[in-house]
């Protein structure tokens, strides 16, 4: 029985990482435009860089697809191991790891926000709603996607442990918000520097002309 649980957990976690490693931005960029997103804009493969390099239509597709990775990882984890909350939390973390460091794309991916939000919707819907409520006006007012992302991540890192302490969600889910949030904050470290220096690029719905990374 223990071996069965161990194998089930191992397959689940490996599957979550591989699912996260599917870089939809990279795939769509190559199929539709013949470009490598890692060589353009910020070098990321997420929806924000797709917006800059390919426009809002493609960015919306990538945003939904990346969120779906997080939703799917948690849904499968609950289906296979709902009685083991730590496995659900670890699967949620590993799908983000896969998005940020994808094995299929030489470990160069996005910043993990959309995939994390997808997982968060399944982990704690109230937290996902609150994070979105803070994200949208922050981006709308400042046009800094990174600032909205940072606010959303910090919100999740605070709210999930609070809900866990209140008994609303398993304590293991606080591991997801803390570890996953820390990875995303680290991935945004250059954005933080640019925000502090006043050199961070603002969001634009105009497609940029290819000019190389950064």
Please tell me the predicted confidence (pLDDT) of residue 162. Answer: 97
Task: Mark residue 37 as left, alpha or beta (left: phi above 0; alpha: psi -120 to 50; beta: remaining).
Answer: alpha
3 state SS of 46: coil
2: pLDDT strictly greater than 70: no
Instruction: Report the candidate in 133, 197, 193 with the shortest Cα–Cα distance to residue 159.
Output: 133
DSSP per-residue string spanning 14-61: HHHHHHHT--HHHHHIIIII---GGGSBTS--SHHHHHHHH-HHHHHH
Largest CA distance in the chain: 57
The pTM assigned to this predicted structure is: 0.90
Helix axes 145-165, 113-123, angle to 10 degrees: 30
Phi, psi of 19 (to 5 degrees): -60, -45
Please tell me the predicted confidence (pLDDT) of residue 39. Answer: 87
Q: What is the pLDDT of residues 90-123, one digit of tens each?
A: 999 999 999 999 999 889 899 999 999 999 999 9
């Amino acid at each position: 029985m223990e071996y069965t649980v161990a194998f089930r957990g191992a397959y689940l976690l490996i599957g979550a990482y591989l699912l996260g490693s599917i870089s939809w931005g990279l795939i769509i960029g190559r199929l539709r435009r013949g470009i490598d997103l890692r060589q353009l804009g910020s070098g990321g493969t997420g929806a924000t860089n797709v917006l800059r390099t390919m426009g809002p239509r493609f960015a919306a597709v990538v945003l939904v697809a990346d969120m779906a990775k997080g939703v799917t990882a948690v849904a499968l984890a609950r289906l296979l191991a709902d009685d083991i909350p730590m496995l659900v939390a670890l699967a949620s973390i590993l799908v983000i790891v896969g998005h940020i460091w994808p094995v299929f794309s030489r470990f160069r991916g996005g910043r993990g926000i959309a995939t994390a939000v997808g997982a968060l919707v399944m982990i704690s819907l109230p937290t996902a709603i609150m994070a979105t409520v803070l994200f949208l006006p922050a981006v709308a007012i400042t046009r800094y996607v990174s600032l909205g992302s940072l606010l959303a991540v910090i919100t999740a890192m605070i709210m999930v442990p609070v809900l866990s302490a209140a008994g609303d969600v398993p304590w293991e889910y606080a591991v997801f918000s803390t570890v996953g949030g820390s990875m995303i904050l680290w991935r945004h470290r250059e954005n933080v520097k640019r925000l502090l220096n006043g050199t961070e690029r603002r969001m634009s719905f105009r497609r940029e002309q290819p000019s190389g990374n950064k």
